[in-house]
Amino acid sequence: MPRDVGGAIPPKPRLSAIVFDVDGVLVRSMERHHEAYRRAFVDLHIDVSKEEVFANEGRRSREVIEAIARHRGLRLGDAEIEAIAKKKQDAFLSFGALPLYPGVPELIARVKDAGLKLAAVTGTMRVNVDNHLGVLVKRFDVIVTADDVQRTKPDPEPYRAALQKLGVKPAEALVIENAPLGIRSAKAAGIRVIAVVTTAPREALAAADHVVTSIGEAWPIIEEMRK
């Protein structure tokens, strides 16, 4: 273990912030994202699979659309991409408010009661976050969306932006994610990660520090990290 010049063991960084992904962690929305992309590509006679949408979770819509088209050997122009993105967003908003995963309000309340800072980092747009979280959005100290960054997950920029806005160091934060690209983003930013098995199999989440089957299982880990 590293020591300072006087030979003393430096203090362990104190956990001071919890950073949540939104889709697939707080909100059961990925299935609806898939359906929205499926509808947006109907006119191109492309059947979008759930697996390819889930695999690109964390990227902004434009990037997901480009990936779907590229996988089929198609090159879309900017106007085409924007038109598909609008169709996707319109379809997604038509579904209305989507359900939170069980245990989410309780975990957020525990985090706030413990005096920890709270942030959300997502590849979706702010309007979707507000629609998803409703009054809970006011409990977050910081929200970073696709509108706030140049590069989305798996680049570390979204999580670095959250740390900067929170005023905390990577070692003082903990991320809760559900997607491989999100885990890569957080780890590249130097942050510890709890992964929740919601939209990806456990083996796809192996890069996380901890893997849990439900959001409610995160609190004991958080408590242990606070010691």
Which pLDDT score is estimated for 2? 47
For the chain, domains (ranges, CATH) are 17-29+98-226 (3.40.50.1000), 30-94 (1.10.150.240)
Q: Read off φ and ψ for residue 196, nearest 5 degrees.
A: -105, 130
198 closest CA partner among 95, 98, 54, 63? 54
The pLDDT of residue 8 is 62
Which pLDDT does position 24 carry in this prediction? 97
Instruction: Give me the pLDDT at residue 22, please.
Output: 97
Q: How many other CB atoms sit within 10 Å of the CB of residue 73?
A: 6
pLDDT for position 57: 96
Q: What is the pLDDT of residue 62?
A: 95
pLDDT at 7: 58
Query: Quick one: which H or E segment has residue 40?
Result: helix 30-40
The pLDDT value given to residue 227: 81
pLDDT at 9: 62
Token output for 149 = 């960054």
CB distance 39 to 33 below 8 Å:
no
Q: What stretches in the chain show pLDDT beneath 50?
A: 1-4
pLDDT for position 132: 87
